[in-house]
């Protein structure tokens, strides 16, 4: 167990660089199971979730070389098992991508059900419905998914799939499963997140035929084999970038964030401008600077290109400094407001009612002891601590390490007073 000790009140100033995208890296590592040769991938973030996914592949028999400079080579030729047991996958929700990858490679999969952040019920019925449409017999029971292609040749059969819910996980999992299916699969009502496009690009660089990623209709023409990849570079992490943009704004700082795709940040950039925060952008950087008083704003989370649910906790912290009341509506996950209880202990004025929160400000936040409820809730507490008066202790920060590469080093680089301490309790 680890904690952060943060002394607030310091305006962040300088430059920091964003790492590769967690939610692209996890399925891309799983996708490497489909290649008949080695895949070299760069801009891999050094985070706990990625290490967990690499460990799973190693235990399945893959050779993984860490080549330095955030680059890895995965050779999955020796993977012979289509089974990922609970001890392998328990902490990692992204491990459900192994179902799609195993189905495409072996025509069968046994994968224990995922862990990850507690954000409500988070069913995977759309993944399972899609696999069934591709000619797979699926059973979800006793905490695991067992899936078997019904055809004698073990290959999946293309089909038309309409997703009832816009789901990043289902869209990517079905792309994985369908890329070696016989015929053309059409998935409608797809998620359009940048990481969906990144996974499609990676699979296409292996020889897959996927068109339309980034729109709500994706067409996949199955191919018999997929080859290795000489070099693929993962996109920058949209949510890590957004978290530092808000940290800069919340501390009244002036920070230039590099290795960023400004188009991916548009919903956040527009909201920050509406809130009177200074934003300047170039080809691969965004500068955030304080332009005065934070204005109130209403925020509603939506699938991309809407405002990301993964940025909802962080923007709520910033809105606690606005003069007046802002409304935050969560419409992607079932429940994502646990962090508000911790924020209230720091002095924030927040009322949660179902999927809506009202935050009134400006409130002076004060340092105290708080606990990380989930990954992005933890990031929000870090931002709150950076702007609070006095010292804040944030417990259970190993949850934050799941998704933020070197958060302590990066924040210290722009002037934050943050330390990681081993927690004896
Ligand atoms: N849903 C269903 N059925 C399904 C799939 C989804 O009802 O079969 C509903 C659930 O209510 C779920 C919502 O749709 O909460 C969104 O699901 P989606 O599949 O889009 O999300 P996910 O795969 O559970 C991924 C990210 C999350 C991120 C969401 C939304 C990974 C490993 N996780 O989760 O990331 O919040 O997409 O963008 O990629 C995080 O990084 O902190 C994180 C939680």
CB neighbour list of residue 213: distance below 8 Å, 6 or more residues apart = 175, 190, 196, 197, 199, 200, 201
pLDDT score, position 271 = 98
| Distance of CA 169 from the midpoint of ligand 1 (Å) | 6
Residue 4, number of CB atoms within 10 A of its CB: 26
Mean pLDDT by 10 residues, the chain (425 residues): 95 98 98 97 96 94 96 96 86 89 97 70 89 97 92 96 97 98 98 98 98 98 98 98 98 97 98 97 96 92 98 98 97 93 98 97 97 97 98 97 97 98 79
Which residue puts its alpha carbon closest to atom 22 of ligand 1? 169
What φ, ψ does residue 125 adopt, rounded to 5°? Answer: -60, -30
Rounded distance, CA 381 to CA 371, Å? 9
| Distance of CA 292 from the midpoint of ligand 1 (Å) | 35
pLDDT score, position 404 = 98
What is the atom index within ligand 1 of the atom nearest the CA of 309?
Answer: 36
pLDDT score, position 116 = 60
Domain 2-19+236-422 of CATH type 3.65.10.10: yes
Mutate to test the pocket of ligand 1, among 47, 96, 111, 168 (most ligand atoms within 8 A of CB): 168
What φ, ψ does residue 16 adopt, rounded to 5°? Answer: -145, 160
Residue 334, number of CB atoms within 10 A of its CB: 13
Q: Is 137 in the pocket of ligand 1 (CB under 6 A)?
A: no
Cβ neighbourhood burial of 34 (10 Å; 0-12, 13-18, 19+):
buried
Cα–Cα distances in angstroms (integers) from residue 154 to residues 20, 148, 164, 186, 228, in the given order: 35, 8, 27, 20, 22
What is the atom index within ligand 1 of the atom nearest the CA of 116?
Answer: 44
Rounded distance, CA 53 to CA 117, Å? 16
| Distance of CA 229 from the midpoint of ligand 1 (Å) | 28
Tell me whether domains 2-19+236-422 and 22-233 share a fold.
yes
Per-residue 3-state assignment (H helix, E strand, C coil) for 308-357? CHHHHHHHHHHHCCCCEEEEEECCCCCCCCCHHHHHHHCCCEEEEECCEE
pLDDT score, position 119 = 61
Beta-bridge partners for 229: 39
Beta-bridge partners for 419: 5
Structure token digits, residue 270: 């527009």
Structure token digits, residue 389: 């008066």
- Is residue 222 within 8 Å of residue 196, measured between CB atoms? no
- Is residue 43 within 8 Å of residue 236, measured between CB atoms? yes
Q: What is the rounded (10 degree) CA torsion for 310, 34, 43, 192?
A: -40
| Distance of CA 7 from the midpoint of ligand 1 (Å) | 33
364 is catalytic: no
pLDDT score, position 86 = 84
Q: Is 126 in the pocket of ligand 1 (CB under 6 A)?
A: yes
pLDDT score, position 141 = 87
Domain segments of the chain: what residues? 2-19+236-422, 22-233
pLDDT score, position 95 = 86
Q: Does the N-terminal peptide bond of residue 305 adopt cis geometry, omega within 30 degrees of 0?
A: yes
Rounded distance, CA 361 to CA 102, Å? 50
pLDDT score, position 118 = 66
Per-residue 3-state assignment (H helix, E strand, C coil) for the chain? CEEEEEECCCCCEEEEECCECHHHHHHHHHHHHHCCCCEEEECCCCCHHHHHHHHHHHHHCCEEEEEECCEEEEECCCCCCCEECHHHHCCCHHHHHHHHHHHHHHCEEEEECCCCCCCCCCCCHHHHHHHHHCCEEEEEECCEEEEEECCCCCCCECCEEECCCCCHHHHHHHHHHHCCCECEEEEECCCCCHHHHHHHHHHHHCCCEEECECECEEEEECCCCCCCEEEEECCECHHHHHHHHHHHHHCCCEEEEECCCHHHHHHHHHHHHHCCCEEEECCCEEEEECCCCCCCCCEEECCCCCECHHHHHHHHHHHCCCCEEEEEECCCCCCCCCHHHHHHHCCCEEEEECCEEEEEECCCCECCEEECCCHHHHHHHHHHHHHCECEEEEECCHHHHCCCCCHHHHHHHCCCEEEEEECCC
What superfamily would CATH give domain 22-233? Enolpyruvate transferase domain (3.65.10.10)
pTM metric for this prediction: 0.97
């Amino acid at each position: 167990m680890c904690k952060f000790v943060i002394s607030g009140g310091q305006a962040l100033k300088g430059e920091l660089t964003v790492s590769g995208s967690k939610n692209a890296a996890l399925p891309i590592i799983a996708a490497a199971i489909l290649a008949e040769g080695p895949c070299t991938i760069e801009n891999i973030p050094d985070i706990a979730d990625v290490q967990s996914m690499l460990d799973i592949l190693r235990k399945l028999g893959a050779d993984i070389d860490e080549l330095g400079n955030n680059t890895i080579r995965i050779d999955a030729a020796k993977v012979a098992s289509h089974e990922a047991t609970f001890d392998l996958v328990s902490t990692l929700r992204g491990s459900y991508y192994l179902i799609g990858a195993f189905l495409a490679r072996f025509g069968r999969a046994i994968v224990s059900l995922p862990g990850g952040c507690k954000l409500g019920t988070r069913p995977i019925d759309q993944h399972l419905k899609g696999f069934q449409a591709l000619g797979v017999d699926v059973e979800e029971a006793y905490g695991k998914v067992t899936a078997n292609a019904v055809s004698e040749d073990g290959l999946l059969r293309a089909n038309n799939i309409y997703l009832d819910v816009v789901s990043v996980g289902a869209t990517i999992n079905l792309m994985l499963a369908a890329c070696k299916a016989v015929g053309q699969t059409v998935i409608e009502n797809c998620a359009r997140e940048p990481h969906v496009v990144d996974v499609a690009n990676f699979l296409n660089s292996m020889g897959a035929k996927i068109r339309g990623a980034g729109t709500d209709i994706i067409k996949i023409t199955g191919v018999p084999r997929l080859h290795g990849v000489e070099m693929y570079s993962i996109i920058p992490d949209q949510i890590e970038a957004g978290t530092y943009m808000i940290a800069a704004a919340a501390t009244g700082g002036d920070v230039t964030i590099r290795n960023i795709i400004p188009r991916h940040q548009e919903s956040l950039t527009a909201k920050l401008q509406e809130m009177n925060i200074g934003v300047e952008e170039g080809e691969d950087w965004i500068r955030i600077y304080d332009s005065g008083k934070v204005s109130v704003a209403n925020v509603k989370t939506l699938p991309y290109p809407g405002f990301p649910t993964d940025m909802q906790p962080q923007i709520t912290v910033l809105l606690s400094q606005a003069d007046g009341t802002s409304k935050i509506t969560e419409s992607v996950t079932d429940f994502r407001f646990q962090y508000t209880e911790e924020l209230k202990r720091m002095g924030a004025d927040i009322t949660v009612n179902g999927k809506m929160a009202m935050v009134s400000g400006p409130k002076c936040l004060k340092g105290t002891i708080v606990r990380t409820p989930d990954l992005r809730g933890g990031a929000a507490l870090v931002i709150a601590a950076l702007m609070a008066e006095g010292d804040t202790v944030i417990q259970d920060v190993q949850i934050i390490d799941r998704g933020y590469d070197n958060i302590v080093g990066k924040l210290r680089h722009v002037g934050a007073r943050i330390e990681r301490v081993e927690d004896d309790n």
